[in-house]
Amino acid sequence: MENAVALVMAGGRGQRFWPLSTEARPKQFLDLEKSGRTLLQSTVDRVAPLVGGAERVMVGTGERYVDLVREQLPELPPENLLVEPVGRDSGPAIALAALQIQARFGNAVMSVFASDHRVEDVPGFQRVLTTAMEVATRERGLVTIGIQPTRPATGYGYLERGAQVPGGYALSRFVEKPTRQRAEQFLHDGGYYWNAGMFVWTIDSILEAFAAHAPEILVPLRSSFAMDSVERDFAALPKISIDYAVMEKASNAFLVEGAFGWDDIGDWRALERLLPKQNDTVQTVFGVHAGHDVSGNIVYTDGADDVLVAFGVENLVIVKRGDTVLIFPKDRVSDIKTLLEDERLQQLTP
């Protein structure tokens, strides 16, 4: 599509993948699958053809990760690196990026992607995004990609489709992370999709939406952008996601369904879905594992010569990164963020 621009968000800290993912090098900068490309690089590889090449891909990140982005994406023009002065969630970040894109490319078709997701069917992904760009342009609307659910996941928000339009549907409503019972009902009923956080819109449409639904973001941001004082003023903006700031309030939101092998690789349990099992009992990602009387464990080491031995345990995640070892039950994976608040860990790990 002519005059299309992609924004790849690469500022997250990836805490739920600690200790492999650290604040110094979050998961988007890691090659989790040992494919030869990091998650960030793979994301740019699949979105660049949609917009005409890397020169039309913008990467938003924090000051701390500028060098990592430049190291991993040497093809990215320096002016395409958008540095957030401070993290304020996706709402202000997308508004700032939209103003920057408008200044350079006018009323471009803007698509937004996370940098730490996995896509199995890249040609299918590109076809879906091409359709989303067409819908966004024709309807002058805000388009989100709805992933066809494959299980009653409770860690995702859901999207309910409304009336059909060419290429997609009107978006009826957002549903926050449901209980398992409710998620099972969604799968039974049909018409519900996972909210993958992928968006497409024209610059005019998203800025109009910010003006209507989140002026507390756009008004001061426009002023500071015009006065070249964003670095000074950005921290005063509210911390809010694009879903809460705009998408849930918009009457011109649309959904295009996607089925292209998507996974957000949100935490260690994702590896069970992505990687082959060893003897149908233990997930082994990398390194050598010797287990006896074990079942349902996820084992990961970043050392090619490491040997991890497990005996008489089940449903654990066993991770070794350098000199750090973490062992925890799979059903406690969501508690890792709380664990990282321990000051002793902050002092002992890089």
Weakest mean pLDDT among 83-97, 188-202, 330-344? 330-344
Which pLDDT belongs to residue 283? 62
- Residue-averaged pLDDT of the chain: 91
pLDDT at position 200, please?
A: 98
Cα gap 317→256, rounded to integer Å: 36
Mean pLDDT of 192-207: 97
Task: List CB contacts of 182: < 8 A, sequence separation 6 or more.
Answer: none
Task: Measure the CA–CA gap between 244 and 264, rounded to whole angstroms.
Answer: 20
- On the question of pLDDT at 199 being above 80, the answer is yes
Q: Is the confidence at residue 349, as pLDDT, over 60? A: no
What is the distance between the alpha carbons of residues 164 and 168, in angstroms, rounded to a whole number?
Answer: 6
CB 234 within 8 A of CB 85: yes
* Residues of the chain above pLDDT 70, percent: 94
Contact 221, 230 (CB under 8 A): yes
Work out the burial of residue 324: count CB atoms within 10 Å of its CB; fewer than 13 is exposed, 13-18 middle, 19 or more buried.
middle
Instruction: Categorize the per-residue pLDDT at 6 as very low, low, confident or very high, splitting at 50, 70 and 90.
Output: very high
**pLDDT at residue 30 greater than cutoff 70:** yes
CATH superfamily of 4-263: Spore Coat Polysaccharide Biosynthesis Protein SpsA; Chain A (3.90.550.10)
Res 220 pLDDT > 90: yes
pLDDT over 90 at 23, yes or no: no
pTM: 0.91
* Neighbouring residues of 86: CB distance < 8 A, sequence distance ≥ 6: 62, 234, 235
With cut-offs at 50, 70 and 90, classify the pLDDT of residue 333. confident
**CATH 3.90.550.10 placement within the chain:** 4-263
User: Phi first, then psi: what are they for 331, rounded to 5°?
Assistant: -80, 5
Average pLDDT over residues 74-93: 95
Q: What's the confidence (pLDDT) of residue 279?
A: 64
Pick the closest to residue 43 from 117, 97, 153, 103 (CA basis): 117
Q: What is the pLDDT of residue 139?
A: 96
Tell me the pLDDT tens digit for each residue of 240-274: 999 999 999 999 999 999 999 999 888 888 888 77
Give per-residue pLDDT as tens, 270-302.
888 777 666 666 666 666 777 788 888 888 888
Give pLDDT, residue 202.
Answer: 98
Computed over its alpha carbons, how large is the radius of gyration of the chain? Answer: 21
pLDDT classification of 192: cutoffs 50, 70, 90? very high
Q: Using 50, 70 and 90 to split pLDDT, how confident is the model at 347? A: low
